[in-house]
Structures are given as structure tokens and as C-alpha cells.
Chain A
């Protein structure tokens, strides 16, 4: 069965500092991987996705993520965090056949001024 682990429940960074959110997955083959952001009371917004090819993927809002097969990881990064980035971030793995998505428990990002 597929699974996703986000080891950090809560991260606090200063505005302008760099950010890395960790994500580890378990899946039998090469997975489809996603990062979503959710503001309070809102739906999910897709930040970026990995299907195949280049392991470094660029997303919206200056985010990027790197797929590392050897580490079963798909960490999200941003070089300089803005106060508006404060939100809940979810990593997800999707079954390439059935299409079911499994989400991590999320990481809450707080940005200090």
C-alpha cells in the first residue's frame, strides 16, 4: 500500500529565509508525486507535480521540489519565504493505475516577520 510521511508537523521560518519541507513516500514503482497548499478554510491548491523525467520540478509561487528515488523523498523548497506562504502544506502520492491519492498529515508553516 502506498503511504506518505511528512516528518515535520510544524515549521516556523523568518520571512526571507529559505524553506525545506520534507516528504517521504512508499510506493511499489515510480509514483506520481504532488505538493499542495491549503489556507485555513480553503481547498487545495496544486503547487507542483512530478510524473516522470527531470527530477527537479518547478512550481508556482517560487516553489520547487526534487524527486530522489534512492531516498524515496520529494522535498519541497523555496529560497525566500514570504509572509503569504504561511499555510498548511500537503505532500501526496498517487497510484499510477487506479488514480487514488494518499496524503501526508501535512506541515503547518508559520512565517515570522
Chain B
């Protein structure tokens, strides 16, 4: 099956620093990728939709200047948490939608655990 990777798998950073998380579709092209956030023992909340070559679409309540998304190629999207604070600590998961799929097939990455001290 299609594989989506995320790097890093976990990161610990100091408050005020920026952290970049990569999401890659390894064996398929993805014109659209989605970024989710999951708090401990909570559900996944969609943060933004990332489209290759265009600006991301953010969900209501998500700060676009805080969570910068870049989708520079058909296999890579990045999420940068700028000036991270402890409340940004969370599990971030991406999914990639296969370009050739007729059913909007999506595949999830393994997630990135961000801890901000």
C-alpha cells in the first residue's frame, strides 16, 4: 500500500523556537495533503489543507502565521510551528491524498510528537 512518512517522529524544543515537520508521500503523488493535530486522549482535529503549488487553506481558529504550511512538490508538505510555546505541544499527523484516486484515497503518516519546554 501507499506509504506516508513524517520526520521527525518526535521533537523536543525550547519555547520560542520554530520547528519544522515534514510529510512525504513515498510511492505516490499527492496534490493535497492534510495536517491534523491530536491532543492527549482526544480526537484528531483538521488544521489545514495543503495543495501543491498554492496557499494552504486553514480551518477556523487555526493561526496561519503560527502554523506555516508549504507544499512545494507533489510528494512533500511541511508544517512549521513558529515561536513554539508549551500549549503547542501535541501529536501532529499528516495525510496525503493520492492524485490518481477516484475515491479521494488518503493515507496517514505515523505522526510527530512535539514537546515544547
Which residues of A approach B to under 8 Å, CB–CB?
Answer: 32, 36, 41-44, 46, 51, 90, 94, 96, 98-106
Contacts and interface: CB of A to CB of B under 8 A. Distances in A.
Contact of A41 (B36, B42, B97, B113): B113
B111 A103 contact: no
A44 B103 contact: no
B103 A101 contact: no
A94 to B, nearest CB: 6
Contact of B49 (A96, A98, A102): A98
- Interface of A, secondary structure class, is loop
A88 to B, nearest CB: 8
Interface string B104-117: 10101111010000
A106 B45 CA distance: 12
A106 B104 contact: no
